[in-house]
Amino acid sequence: MKNITKIVDTFGREHNYLRISLTERCNLRCFYCMPEEGVALREKSCFMTSEEVIEIAQQFVDLGVTKIRLTGGEPLIKKDIDNILIQLSKLPVELGITTNGVLVDQHINTFKEAGIKSVNVSLDSLKEERFNSISRRNYFKRIRSNIDLLIKNEFNVKVNVVLIKGVNDDEIVDFIDWTVSNPLQVRFIEFMPFDGNKWNWDNMVPRKRILEIAEKAYGEKHIIKVKDRANDTTANYRLFNSVGSFGIISSMSNPFCDTCNRIRLTADGKIRNCLFSNSEIDLLASLRKNQDLKPIILESILNKKKQRGGLKDFEKAQFTQNENRSMVTIGG
């Protein structure tokens, strides 16, 4: 089908990147993502079926989406995940996935069959005991092994590290060292406020501080700024003569709202036009009523705020537990 229009907001930002959460479930319990008490279980009917995921994705593609990334929860525990990957790979999009890495070895052949080139893996510590404490599970060795497996199979591997002051910020140099002889990109992500994760400004490690630590360790002249791609959320760097690279996603201290091209679809079929917004529109309910989703999608993005979901005085904001979903129920 020929694109009838593009998904553009009132600020002229074209949205061609869709992130689809396949499930709210996860086989880890990382404290910054999932509340300690977990999330309330809901009926299976509340969530998109595999067929509904494909059908909704097709409608976004008809409107000009050219990139789809699957997230969760943990997308690889979604029933029928291999079929979802193969079916989505038939769409004219760049397909990627973000995973915690635990089950990668069981699906890597499907990744290849689906033409996936980019796999993002979450790993918040290079120390086994610390990682297991953060994730409340004991999968460190398996995840490290699966990252090596992805590299061996020549995937573009990005390792996502949520930095939290006093928890893992002493490993910044260790993570950058990892990129010296390994073809991967480490991405430091600023800790963000979501329901139940006990966020506050004091435990966030901003981009400025990350760079200060890197420059002190390696010398400013040995850190090379890499040219960022259009719509890139990451400020990219590498060490002189390193094989890999590192980057910083500074959603809190240096937002990238001006070039945002992202749309999020939650596992229960809600469209979110901003990670910080608590406003959602139920696409799944409309789909099940046989309504045309395209006008709903266009209206949602047209109503997108200029930055940070319309929050005012962001630096002074006191986020409460009720202002946003938990991260696991939104998708990365």
Residue 38 has pLDDT above 70, yes or no: no
Q: What is the pLDDT of residue 119?
A: 98
Candidates 278, 286, 257; CA nearest to 329 is: 278
Residues 6+ apart with CB under 8 A from 18: 57, 60, 65, 67, 68, 69, 262, 263, 264, 265
Q: What distance separates the 2 farthest-apart alpha carbons in the chain?
A: 60
Q: What pLDDT, in 10s, does the model give residues 131-159?
A: 999 998 999 999 999 999 999 999 999 99
Residue 89 has pLDDT above 50, yes or no: yes
Q: What pLDDT, in 10s, does the model give residues 213-264?
A: 999 999 999 999 999 888 888 999 999 999 999 999 987 776 668 889 999 9
Mean pLDDT of 6-23: 95
Residue 309 pLDDT class (50, 70, 90 cuts): low
Residue 1 has pLDDT above 70, yes or no: no
Mean pLDDT of 46-56: 97
Candidates 235, 251, 258; CA nearest to 304 is: 258
Residue 322 pLDDT class (50, 70, 90 cuts): very low
Between 134 and 308, name the one with better pLDDT.
134
Mean pLDDT of 63-78: 96
Q: From the CB of residue 105, how many other CB atoms can be counted at a distance below 10 Å? A: 13
Domains and their CATH numbers in the chain:
17-329 (3.20.20.70)
Q: What is the pLDDT of residue 40?
A: 72
Q: What pLDDT, in 10s, does the model give residues 278-304?
A: 789 999 999 999 999 999 999 999 999
Residue 172 has pLDDT above 50, yes or no: yes
Please classify residue 295 by burial: count the beta carbons closer than 10 Å to its beta carbon, then call 0-12 exposed, 13-18 middle and 19+ buried.
Answer: exposed
Mean pLDDT score of the chain: 89
Residue 321 pLDDT class (50, 70, 90 cuts): very low
Residue 98 pLDDT class (50, 70, 90 cuts): very high
Q: What is the pLDDT of residue 217?
A: 97
Residue 177 has pLDDT above 80, yes or no: yes
Residue 96 has pLDDT above 80, yes or no: yes
